[in-house]
Structure 1
Amino acid sequence: MEQYIEFIGNNAILSVIWLALVAMIVASWFKSKFSAIAQVNPQQLTLLVNRENGQVVDIRPAKEFNAGKIAGAVQLSAEKAKQSDFAGLEKYKTKPIILVCTTGMTASGIANTMHKAGFEHVYVLNGGMGSWQSAGLPITAGK
C-alpha cells in the first residue's frame, strides 16, 4: 500500500489521468446500461415493424437513401433531426421508431433527442444499413 501512495505522490499527473479514465469508463457503462434507447439487430427491427407497427426512419443523406432503403422506411435528414424538427413523425410518438443511419453512430444521438421530444419507443439499428445488408436482407429503391 505504501508503494501506491508513493507512486501517486511522485506521479500526480499520471494518477489524475488514470482516475479520469476510470471515471469516464464507469460513466459510459452506466449510460449504456440505463439508456432509454435500445439497440436492435436486423431481426429485431423486422419484428418491431411486423408485430408492433414500428416505423423505420432513415437519417442517411438523400443520395444514400435513394440508392437503397429498408422497405417502408421514411427519410428524415440528420440536420432536421439534430434541430429537433420531427415534422411528419408526430403520428408515430407512441409507436416504435427504429432509426437507421449508415453505421449506427449518428442515429444514437438523434434517438436521444427524439426521446426527449416525447417519442416513447425509440430504437437504433445496431450497425446501421451495413448490418442490414450484411444479414442479406432486402433493400428497395428510395423515394
Structure 2
Amino acid sequence: MKFRFLILLLLSAAWQHMATAETTPPAVVLPPEVHEIAPEQVERQLVDHLDTLIIDVRTEEERRTRGHILNSLHHDYFHGQKTLDELARLDKTKPCIVYCAIGGRAKLVAVEMHKLGFKNILLLRGGFNAWTASGQAIAK
C-alpha cells in the first residue's frame, strides 16, 4: 500500500513539473543596451529622434482587428527567419521601438536585433495593450 502511494506521489510531482515546464515561457535576458519606454514617452522620443523606427511584431490578424501604432513597420514574430532577414535589412544605427501585444515577443525580437547589430533598441513597456490603455492614438 505504501509503495503504491509513493509511486502515485512521484507520478503526480512529475506531471506537475511537466505541466509547468510546458506552460511557463522561458525567461528572457535582455542585453544591457535594450531599454524600456513607456507609452507616454514615445512622442518625445519621436520628436527628439525623427529617424526612430517603430516595429510591430504582432500578427497580421492582431494588426487588422486591434489596430497599430501609426507608421509602424510590420514584422511578424511568428514568421521566424523571414522576419530576422527583413529586420537585418533595416538601418541598425536608427533607434527602434519594438512592440507586440504585451511585451513577450518584443523582448525575444529585441535580443535577436541586438545580435544583428542594432545599437538603440527600445521596448514599448506593456506593449500595444498598454499603448491603447493609456489613450494613445492608433491606426486601423
> How many angstroms apart in 2 are the aligned matches of 1:50 and 1:92?
19
* Structure-2 residue corresponding to 1:41: 38
Deviation of the 1:109 alpha carbon: 1.4
AA at the equivalent of 1:94? T
Deviation of the 1:93 alpha carbon: 1.0
Under a length normalisation based on structure 2, what TM-score does the superposition of the two structures give? Answer: 0.70
In the comparison of the two structures, how many residue pairs are matched?
A: 110
Match 1:63 to one of 61, 64, 69? 61
**Change beyond 3 A, Cα 1:89–1:136:** farther
Under a length normalisation based on structure 1, what TM-score does the superposition of the two structures give? Answer: 0.68
Unaligned runs of 5+ in 2: 1-26
Listed one character per residue, the Cα deviations across residues 104-135 of structure 1 (whole Å, up to 9, x for unaligned) are 12111110110110111111101001110111
Please give the root-mean-square deviation of Cα atoms over the aligned residues, in Å: 2.0
Q: Report the identity percentage.
A: 25
8 A contact 2:55–2:97 mirrored in 1: yes
* Structure-2 residue corresponding to 1:136: 135
Trace 1:106-121 onto structure 2 (pairs within 5 A).
Answer: 106-121=105-120
Unaligned runs of 5+ in 1: 1-27
Is residue 93 of structure 1 aligned with residue 92 of structure 2? yes
AA at the equivalent of 1:124? L
**Change beyond 3 A, Cα 1:90–1:43:** farther
8 A contact 1:99–1:124 mirrored in 2: yes
> How many angstroms apart in 2 are the aligned matches of 1:116 and 1:105?
17
Please give the secondary structure, in 2, of the residue aligned with 1:138: coil
> How many angstroms apart in 1 are the aligned matches of 2:96 and 2:88?
9
> How many angstroms apart in 1 are the aligned matches of 2:88 and 2:45?
17
Is residue 74 of structure 1 aligned with residue 73 of structure 2? yes
8 A contact 2:33–2:119 mirrored in 1: no
AA at the equivalent of 1:47? R
> How many angstroms apart in 1 are the aligned matches of 2:117 and 2:93?
9
> How many angstroms apart in 2 are the aligned matches of 1:90 and 1:44?
27
